[in-house]
């Protein structure tokens, strides 16, 4: 699964979009390519400028893209008209926003158990690095790939995406950070976070060997997330965005894990557009046939 990040700017310079294009290679790209716009438009554009950005976005993504999804960070009712004019539909999604400008405030908002896990991880010798080597990025990717294969069960970009992200955030060409957790000389967790400069740091991918290491009282996923929150403040951001808390009224596996970091609950939702209806519905049909005919026999 390949992935790349592109930026789309309004022609008048008022606002931009951070877009992740992901999909397979060769023929599989016609059945796997999607475009996800993280956190919605940056820069608080007016509806007219946002309408222009949507037009430009639809011009630059491949024609075989199955769908476009905006994962909003905040409720933006003023953008509803251009969204609907371009064929998008809204779906409810909860989110958690944690203040990051002041470390003490962020610390105080965490539950007592979260604070205890951070302290124990530090006392147990766990450290973090925001400039991982290629080998450390590869080790983190193996943790993440195992999690996605056995628990999340969703597509994951290949290793090249994470290496490129680390290179670009390290040299400053892409705002954000890549943090790994180290314990006894090994990478045991980490977090990948893009950023809107001066505003928000976003949790994109996080993983850790918490289940295996909790008996030693070290918690890499907790440590990675807390380090990212403090890093957000150091980078000049006022908010850390957990990038989703599930659908209201439905179970969501990591909701409790995220909730114990504290913050403000919002329901910004997602805006979705089927970009290529023929390929989308064909892919949906093939997926359902696969699960009906193949999966029951495994």
Q: Quick check: 296 pLDDT over 50?
A: no
Q: Which of residues 269 and 17 earns the better pLDDT score?
A: 269
Q: Which of 170-174's residues contact partners 24+ apart within 8 Å by CB, and which partners?
A: 170/131, 174/5
Taking the CA atoms of 206, 275, 95 and 176 in sequence, report the sign of the dihedral they define. Answer: positive
Given a contact cutoff of 8 angstroms between Cβ atoms, the answer to whether 49 and 38 are in contact is no
Rg (C-alpha) for the chain, rounded Å, is: 20
In 3D space, the residue among 113, 98, 114 whose CA is nearest the CA of residue 237 turns out to be: 98
- Three-state DSSP at 120 gives helix
How does residue 41 score in pLDDT terms, banded at 50, 70 and 90? confident
Q: Quick check: 73 pLDDT over 80?
A: no
Each residue of 266-295: pLDDT tens digit? 998 999 999 999 999 998 888 777 655 544
Q: Which of residues 192 and 32 earns the better pLDDT score?
A: 192
Burial 20-55 (b: 16+ CB within 10 A, else e): bbbbeeeeeebbbbbbbbbbbbbbebeeebbbbbbe
Q: Which of residues 132 and 18 earns the better pLDDT score?
A: 132
Q: What is the pLDDT of residue 70?
A: 93
Q: Which structure tokens are listed for 30?
A: 């016609």
Q: What is the maximum span of the chain, computed from C-alpha positions, in angstroms? A: 56
Q: Which of residues 101 and 24 earns the better pLDDT score?
A: 101
Q: Which structure tokens are listed for 260?
A: 């114990």
Q: What is the pTM of this model?
A: 0.77
Torsions phi, psi of 51, nearest 5?
Answer: -60, -40
Q: What is the pLDDT of residue 294?
A: 47
Taking the CA atoms of 109, 255, 224 and 215 in sequence, report the sign of the dihedral they define. Answer: positive
Number of residues assigned to the chain: 298
Domains of the chain and any CATH numbers:
2-93+268-297 (3.40.630.30), 96-264 (3.40.630.30)
Q: What is the pLDDT of residue 11?
A: 66
Given a contact cutoff of 8 angstroms between Cβ atoms, the answer to whether 40 and 83 are in contact is no
**Distant-in-sequence, close-in-space partners of 233: CB < 8 Å, separation ≥ 6:** 100, 101, 102, 103, 106
Q: Quick check: 177 pLDDT over 90?
A: yes
Q: What is the pLDDT of residue 139?
A: 98
Q: Quick check: 19 pLDDT over 70?
A: yes
Q: What is the pLDDT of residue 298?
A: 37
CB atoms near residue 275 (< 10 Å): 22
Q: What is the pLDDT of residue 297?
A: 40
Q: Quick check: 122 pLDDT over 60?
A: yes
- Three-state DSSP at 24 gives coil
- C-alpha separations of 168 from 5, 9, 205, 215 in Å: 11, 19, 16, 36
How does residue 103 score in pLDDT terms, banded at 50, 70 and 90? very high
Q: What is the pLDDT of residue 239?
A: 94
Q: What is the pLDDT of residue 262?
A: 96
How does residue 12 score in pLDDT terms, banded at 50, 70 and 90? low
Q: Which of residues 124 and 153 earns the better pLDDT score?
A: 124
Q: Edge to edge, what strands does the sheet with 67-72 contain?
A: 2-9, 16-23, 34-39, 67-72, 270-274, 89-91
Each residue of 206-229: pLDDT tens digit? 999 999 999 999 999 999 999 999
Given a contact cutoff of 8 angstroms between Cβ atoms, the answer to whether 31 and 65 are in contact is no
Q: What is the pLDDT of residue 1?
A: 56
pLDDT, the chain, mean: 90
C-alpha angle with apex 35: 287 to 134, nearest 5 degrees?
A: 100
């Amino acid at each position: 699964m390949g992935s790349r990040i592109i930026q789309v700017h309004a022609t008048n310079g008022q606002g931009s979009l951070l877009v992740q294009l992901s999909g397979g290679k060769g023929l599989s790209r016609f059945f796997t390519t999607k475009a996800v716009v993280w956190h919605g438009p940056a820069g608080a554009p007016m509806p007219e400028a946002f309408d222009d950005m949507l037009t430009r976005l639809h011009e630059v993504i491949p024609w075989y893209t199955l769908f476009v999804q905006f994962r909003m960070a905040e409720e933006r009712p003023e953008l509803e008209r251009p969204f609907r004019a371009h064929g998008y539909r809204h779906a409810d999604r909860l989110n958690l926003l944690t203040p990051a400008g002041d470390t003490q405030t962020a610390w105080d908002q965490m539950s007592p158990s979260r604070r205890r896990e951070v302290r124990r991880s530090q006392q147990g010798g766990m450290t973090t690095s925001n400039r991982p080597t290629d080998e450390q990025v590869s080790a983190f990717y193996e943790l993440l790939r195992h999690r996605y294969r056995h628990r999340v069960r969703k597509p994951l970009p290949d290793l090249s995406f994470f290496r490129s992200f680390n290179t670009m955030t390290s040299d400053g060409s892409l705002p954000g950070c890549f943090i790994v957790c180290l314990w006894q000389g090994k990478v045991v967790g980490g977090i990948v976070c893009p950023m809107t400069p001066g505003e928000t740091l976003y949790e994109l991918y996080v993983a850790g060997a918490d289940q295996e290491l909790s008996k030693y009282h070290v918690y890499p996923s907790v440590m990675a997330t807390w380090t990212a929150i403090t890093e957000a403040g150091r980078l000049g951001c006022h908010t850390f965005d957990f990038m989703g808390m599930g659908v209201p009224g439905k179970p969501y596996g990591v909701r409790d894990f995220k909730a114990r970091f504290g913050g403000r609950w919002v329901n910004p939702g997602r805006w979705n557009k089927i970009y290529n209806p023929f390929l989308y519905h064909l892919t949906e049909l093939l997926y359902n046939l696969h699960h009906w005919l193949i999966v029951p026999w495994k």
